[in-house]
Chain A
Amino acid sequence: MSAPATGPLRPDLMDPRTLAALGRLEVISRWLVDGVLNGLHRSPKKGFSVEFAEHRAYQPGDDLRLMDWKVAARADKWLIKQYEEETNLRATIVLDVSKSMDWASAPTLLTKRQYAEQVVAALSLLLLRQRDAVGLIRFDDQIRSAIKPASRQLQFTRLVAALGESGGGPASDAGSALRQAAQAVKRRGMVVLVSDLLLDPQDVDDAVRVLRAQGHDVAVLHILDPAERSFELGVGESLFVDTEGGESLAATPAEVREAYVETVAEAMAEWRARLSASGAVYEPILTTEPFGVPLRRAFARRQRLP
């Protein structure tokens, strides 16, 4: 998708390839976050000071320090002040950097990993600007790197540096990564899994259930190359080889496209159903979609946090 022909450019709505060509990851992320924040009607930021929320009737045993004495003096009503809890979110982003993520269906497209890193960087920056704590766990068949959640300004630099590290293992062990994320987030927080979900669903599901049981908000961003969705590969009869498992299958895209598309749709529906049942949010994202889309979704979810 390209930016509108008129008006100021919104980085979050720019074509990912165009935006990626502009510069380093952290620069891109700042642009993106600025775009997202500019596009919102209302800031979701809250909780940096003690803010009054509502009154309720006094119940015996309530802390008298919370009594609204002014109302009691004025109206002879005993009301207890309730305040919104000042909560800095602790988020951990779990990024799949397995070999399957290092794939793009065309040279002109970002690989799923490149796209995911842009999303992770932008999301991290967005959270940090809200003074939330953000951590990162990168995994393939093992944990490649783990940065505990922190809200310091240096945290973004560390995250960006970590995103530049290697990966590309032959498999994905999302379960252990998610479990490690649960350990990293002691308090209730948010865990965002960014992956192409070429994983063992049961493994992921088990881990998500554990996270949800611990009270964490879980979101799964399913990164998809467009060709993985449509099987539009522009090739004829070919031998298709799995990038991780080494399995292969001879097929003609034109002949199996319909069945493939149906299968992918079914798989995505299964992921959505499975994760919804576990209380997690599932969002499929194509690597050709503007970055703003996942950020906006993530931010909207942040607003819904308790």
Chain B
Amino acid sequence: MTDPVATPPAPAEAPERRPTDWKGNVMQRRIARRYAAERRFHAMGLGAVLLSVGFLAFLLVTMIGNGASGFRRTEVLVPVDFAHASIRLDPASFRGPGRDAALAAADFEGVLFESAQQKFGGGSFKLLSEGAWLAVRNKVADNPDILKGQAAIWVPASSAIDRAAKSGAADADLDRVRKVTEVRTSFDLSFLTGADSTDPTMVGVWGAFKGSLLTMLVTLALAFPVGVLSALYLEEYAPRNRWTDLIEVSINNLAAVPSIIFGLLGLAVFLNTMNLPRSAPIVGGLTLALMTMPVIVIAGRNAIKAVPPSIRDAALGIGASRVQVVFHHVLPLALPGILTGTIIGMARALGETAPLLMIGMRAFVSAPPGGLTDPATVLPVQIFLWSDEVSKGFVEKTSAAIIVLLVFLMAMNGLAIYLRNRFERRW
């Protein structure tokens, strides 16, 4: 055994080296300094992670803080005297086949205005929401018999009163209303079932959500089969030549092209050349499908690559054709991985805004779309449009819509993680 501190024979002219004094003050200070640097570096790493996570938490807390009240709505109890209203409405006409036409023709707005004037005096219009009469109409549609007499109806309050009631701030109008009638703030189902409106108390996310669903449907129907088929071709059949290299390069590039460029493509090709309808889910779906397809191809290729060659060899060995090998054995085994990639790609498409602005999905759409060619908007675009509104009541509605969107994205990502954990297989 050699002495660990023994030095090799030094050249003659070098000064004599003494063994390092590990216990000496100089060395101890140096070690302490190095350990301090180590701790600092460790703390910086932890700090970076915590800062990033903290930012995410701050974002979520801000959105929930701003948006939680957006799911609630303030309502005012207004006694409506149908029997003595200047516009007489006949209960019989709101029954039977003519019901919808009669409901559309009747002037509920006038009836409500009259009742509100009696109850609150002058300037009652700014106390109630613009769409307050819809509550009266719904009440009559449910039970036309109330037209014979008087009924107390909860109608949505105006945006200013709504905000005052939620924040608990002193407000002259709110106090005035509180003096003469009841005011309540409760969970607002119409935010989840309604469509866009110019009045923040009347808006809902269902219209945009349905637009998102239709758009995603088109995206999935196009991107999934095309993505899976091209992943199969590239991984299982493609010869290594210049053509398949070109295909590979263009798929990898498409995955990194900025999303707004796909919007420009959609505008130039689908709208201006093919004359498809503007603002329609079908065009949005086509555009997003081109964007999602490369994501599915890349995920699909990884999943297919993970299937061991022995499975293919075994199937080929008992006489299956190459198409049978792929469609009966490789594809079913790779499917969980492909599905995980597809869900992640769809989640990305669901949150996409910029390309859809390019193809005109920023129009004001007050009714949920009925089909693939109807004008529609999607949730992220709806959020963008509401964020531009001047009216203060839209702040909480925008945040509430963001909460809805985030809940769906997290559900999709959670499903992807679950699928990965459930079906992941080590060969």
| Binding between chains A and B | no
